[in-house]
């Protein structure tokens, strides 16, 4: 793991770093400092890439629904947490291409409550945690959800995080987690294959077993049990990653995060100018309703955020769409494009040969 560059400036971030820059440089060989700089840099690159498309849309999109919108930029909202740490929430809202885009970085420290420790023990069975008392923790991560305006452009979510906690007898337990997944509104096999192949390539550079394993975990995790369907067409998802070494795990995380732009931006570029019908827009909003259901009922990150003292609710709920819809007993027409997509959501398939 390369230490923090001593010539680093905050111009490479969306705002001032959460930890003072001088302190990051002074502790530049620590995992905490290296990971904070990494996620701040990923946030900047992704925001700039999305802004470039949004600004370009000024000259190309003319639509009655979007009159009055201009190419928006991200608003960087830097916040602090009195219990320790803080974050930068970047939001682009009501754009021509992106109806709501959120890219959130958080670096927090504090004490996990007894209830949170019990919940974490259930989720992280391989991590040695001591129940019955509050435990000091450090958590840093980047999380993003992009909700496009055009139904032909899928929603993407990615999250990469590092966690440290004081376990039994004062030992430090650490692990990485994260993933990237796609929620489409239009059935498009070529897009699904491109997305999955890009992630598979990133995984294969480290371990050939990673992609099939983490693809299956993604399909299992983003499952809306009360609906009997997945949130989308998946991607990769993993947790409790602490082998074979810290440097190996971080290298893998870097490859996954660096794959986000090439796996997603081509899908945006190829589809954001396509025309769409009111029925396609209606279907998009219904699928976003499912997105809300999953995030509020099942998502571990949302639950952890709510259980963390001093949690910032606006940042936790940054993943929710600007618009969503629910209709009573809605069912796609048999044989339609929507029906074809629903079959995949109920029975996932392999997209990489």
Active site amino acids: 157
Phi-psi region of 102 (alpha: psi -120 to 50; beta: other; left: phi over 0): beta
Comparing CA positions, the residue from 42, 12, 17 lying closest to residue 27 is: 17
Rg of the chain (C-alpha set): 20
Residue 86's Cβ-side half-sphere holds a number of Cα atoms within 13 Å equal to: 13
29 burial (CB, 10 Å; 0-12 / 13-18 / 19+) is exposed
59 burial (CB, 10 Å; 0-12 / 13-18 / 19+) is exposed
Q: Residue-wise over 77-89: b if at least 16 C-beta within 10 A, else e?
A: bbeebeebbbbbb
Structure tokens at 168: 């039994």
Phi-psi region of 12 (alpha: psi -120 to 50; beta: other; left: phi over 0): alpha
Task: Please tell me the total number of residues recorded for the chain in this structure.
Answer: 353
CA dihedral 220, 226, 228, 233 (to 10 degrees): -50
Instruction: Put the strands of the sheet holding 234-241 in their side by side order.
Output: 75-80, 85-93, 98-112, 135-148, 155-166, 172-183, 234-241
Sole residue written with tokens 């993604």: 218
Q: Residue-wise over 219-249: b if at least 16 C-beta within 10 A, else e?
A: bebbbbeeeebbbbbbbbbbbebbeeeeeeb
């Amino acid at each position: 793991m390369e230490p923090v560059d001593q010539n680093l400036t905050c111009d490479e971030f969306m705002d001032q770093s959460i930890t003072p820059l001088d302190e990051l440089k002074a502790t530049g060989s620590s995992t905490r400092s290296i990971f904070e700089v990494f996620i701040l840099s990923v946030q900047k690159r992704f925001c700039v890439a999305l802004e470039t498309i949004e600004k370009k849309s000024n000259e190309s999109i003319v639509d009655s629904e979007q009159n009055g919108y201009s190419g928006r930029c991200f608003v960087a909202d830097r916040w602090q947490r009195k219990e320790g740490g803080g974050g930068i929430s970047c939001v682009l809202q009501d754009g021509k291409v992106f109806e709501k885009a959120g890219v959130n970085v958080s670096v927090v420290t504090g004490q996990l409550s007894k209830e949170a420790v019990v919940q974490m023990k259930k989720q992280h069975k391989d991590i040695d945690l001591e129940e019955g008392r509050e435990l000091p923790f450090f958590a840093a991560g980047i999380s993003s959800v992009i909700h496009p305006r055009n139904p032909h452009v899928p929603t993407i979510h990615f999250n990469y995080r590092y966690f440290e906690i004081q376990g039994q007898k004062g030992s430090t337990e650490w692990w990485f987690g994260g993933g990237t997944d796609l929620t489409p509104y239009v059935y498009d096999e070529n897009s699904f294959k491109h997305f999955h192949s890009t992630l598979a390539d990133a995984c294969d550079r480290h371990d050939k077993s990673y992609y099939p394993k983490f693809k299956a975990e993604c399909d299992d995790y983003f499952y809306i049990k009360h609906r009997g369907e997945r949130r989308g067409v998946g991607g990769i998802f993993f947790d409790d990653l602490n082998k074979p070494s810290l440097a190996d795990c971080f290298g893998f995380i870097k490859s996954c995060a660096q794959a986000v732009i090439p796996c997603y931006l081509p899908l945006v570029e190829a589809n954001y100018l396509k025309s769409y019908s009111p029925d396609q827009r209606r279907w998009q909003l219904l699928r976003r309703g499912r997105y809300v259901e999953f995030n509020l009922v099942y998502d571990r990150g949302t639950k952890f955020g709510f259980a963390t003292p001093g949690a910032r609710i606006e940042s936790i709920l940054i993943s929710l769409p600007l618009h969503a819809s629910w209709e009573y007993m809605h069912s796609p027409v048999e044989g339609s494009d929507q029906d074809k997509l629903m079959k995949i959501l109920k029975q996932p398939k392999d997209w990489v040969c």
